[in-house]
Every structure is written in structure tokens, then in C-alpha cells.
Amino acid sequence: MTSRVPYAGQRPRDLGGGVRSVPVPIPGSPLGYTLVYAIDSPGGPLLVDAGWNHPDAWQALSAGLSELGTDVSAVRGVVVTHFHPDHAGLAGRVREESGAWIAMHEEDARLVKLMRGFGERAHRDFQSEMLRRAGAPALTLEDGARPEPPAQPDLELRDGDLIDLPGRTLRAIHTPGHTPGHVCLFLEDAARLFTGDHVLPDITPHIGIYPYDRDDIDPLDDFLTSLDKVAALGRTEALPAHERIFDDTAARAAEIRAHHEDKLVRLAAVLAEPLTIWEAAALMRWNRSWEDLSPMLRGMAAGEAAAHLRALEARGLIRRLPEVDPVRFVAVDS
């Protein structure tokens, strides 16, 4: 974690080569804003992400596009890098105003479908059972209103698909990890990579596993493989969804990989004694002390701990004790 530029310091920008960026605020979030990109084409601009669904965000997006000489009504399509509300939230509103299509990777489209059918009550029950199985003390998660699920996309993307953008070559690169259907978009004719949340200049995206005790997936391994995948594209300029644009995606991807490898080594070292997911999370290093994390942030930290435990298990370095509830993990050699 390092310095964050506040939203107030951001302006819409023409980045050259037919690419513009509009900072769209995320009300109440320390992340500040989402960078929405518009790529010009003779058939109207294409948006990469759309921002949080909030009146201030909508105002910033539409005013920003006008300031850059285009208009939200001209948008031909929105490619959403992943289903999270700060990326996909406004896509539905853009579609209403312009008739644009919305595209998303099929894995995230599947999650959106699930979320849209999942009531508030079912969501809360799911969370409390997940926390119990992780060994969390009885706690109430604050009931903060859940953001509305994003709009269902019109197009589902797969790895390698070319986006319908006349005159440009824009390819979807499936980069699972932060979400199962996260995509980066590679503007091949300009060696520019829209990285979404996959590769950010100063922070690392949340990599979690839900429910925490799943043993049939390995999102951290997926994420590390996805880092290698974008590094293999050669030297590219990164246009991320937060913070700022930077050079050399591959170098930053290598740093993020090293950060997680380091976290894995330190986590394995505390597992001489069997620990629950919650106990392991409390012993890991976060950007503030465990005591200072809100219940919501502890829940996310537990998700992140769970993803690291699962990766260590898949590498054969730790194992889960049979028939214990809550589940406990221990190093294989102890």
C-alpha cells in the first residue's frame, strides 16, 4: 500500500492514439475512483468498465466523456473487466442511454446470474455459515446495503476473443484470480493493456475464496498463472482501472507474484500447529493490525487467508485435518 491520489486531483484525459480516460468516483471508498477508458472507433467509442452505480459517478462519466469531445449516447459497447460494482455498476445505465451492448467473460456472467437470483436473507445465511466453518467468533457482519447486482451482459467473452471494434485490434485475455472471469484487454496495435484490477501499480487486488473452505478451486494459483500470462505479452503499457497508468506491466506482474510467494512462505511457517482459517488470518500481515480491521475487512482478510491456505495445500505443503469442524490446516511435516 502506498500513496493514493484522491479523486479531487483527477481529470478526464486524452491519452493519445484514440484512447481517453475518465476518472469516475466511488463514493465512500478509499480507492477513490475507477478509471473508465474510452477507445475511439468509426462506429462510436468503446468503454472499458463503466464505474459505480451512483448519481455522482454517472454525472462524472457523462460530463467527462463530453469534455473529451464524445458523448455517452454514442457509446457502441461496454466491456466489463469483471463483475465488481466499481467496474460493472454503471454498464446497465450506459446501455439504457446509448443502446450499447455489454460484454463480460462467461465465468463472471455466470456469477452475475447467480447474484441476481440471490436474496438478501440467503446472502446473510451463506455468510454466517461460511464464517462459522472458518472458526470465526460469533460476530455480526454490518448490514451495509449490498450494491445492486450488475446488469446481465449481452455478450459473453472467452479467452482470446476479439472485441467488435472497427479499425482496432482489441483482444480479451482471460486473467482469472481476482474474479473467475476477470479479463484484461490487449490493444494489440498499440501494445497497450487495459489491466482492470489484475495488475495495479501500487496495490494488489483481493484474491479470496468463497466459501472459505472450498477445496475444488485454487484462485491464488489461477491469479499467479494469469500474472505470467500478461507478462508473456511482452513489454506493454498498463492502463489499470485504479490509481494511475504505468509502463511495463510485466515488471509489476513479477513484483506482485513475489509478494504472494513471500506471503505463502510466511503463512506456511506459522502452521506447525493446526490453525483454523480465522486464526491463520489473524496471524498474517495486513495493511493495519488485525484488531483495527472492521468485521467486513476481517471477513475479506479471511477470504484472502483461505486462498493462500488452499494454494499451500495444493502444493502439498500443508494439509487439512480430517473430520474437524471448523476446518484446521497444519504443515505436512509436523
Residues lying near Zn ion in the complex (CB under 5 A): 84, 197
Q: How far is the CB of 323 from Zn ion (least distance, A)?
A: 36
Q: How far is the CB of 30 from Zn ion (least distance, A)?
A: 14
**Cα–Cα distance for residue pair 212/219, rounded to 1 Å:** 11
The residue at minimum Cβ distance from Zn ion is: 84
**Cα–Cα distance for residue pair 218/100, rounded to 1 Å:** 35
What letter would DSSP give residue 291?
A: G
Contact 226, 82 (CB under 8 A): no
Nearer to Zn ion, 95 or 242 (CB): 242
- SS3 state at 46: strand
Q: How far is the CB of 106 from Zn ion (least distance, A)?
A: 18
Nearer to Zn ion, 207 or 267 (CB): 207
As a dihedral over the C-alpha atoms of residue 270, residue 273, residue 279, residue 282, rounded to 10 degrees, the angle is -20
Nearer to Zn ion, 29 or 127 (CB): 29
| Angle of helix 249-269 versus helix 219-231 axis, rounded to 10 | 150
State the amino acid at position 137 in one-letter form: P
Nearer to Zn ion, 151 or 275 (CB): 151
Q: How far is the CB of 327 from Zn ion (least distance, A)?
A: 27
**Cα–Cα distance for residue pair 149/83, rounded to 1 Å:** 9
Nearer to Zn ion, 171 or 182 (CB): 182
**Residue of 191, 143, 91 lying closest to 296 (CA atoms):** 143
Contact 188, 180 (CB under 8 A): no
Nearer to Zn ion, 79 or 327 (CB): 79
Q: How far is the CB of 34 from Zn ion (least distance, A)?
A: 9
State the amino acid at position 186 in one-letter form: F
Q: How far is the CB of 82 from Zn ion (least distance, A)?
A: 6
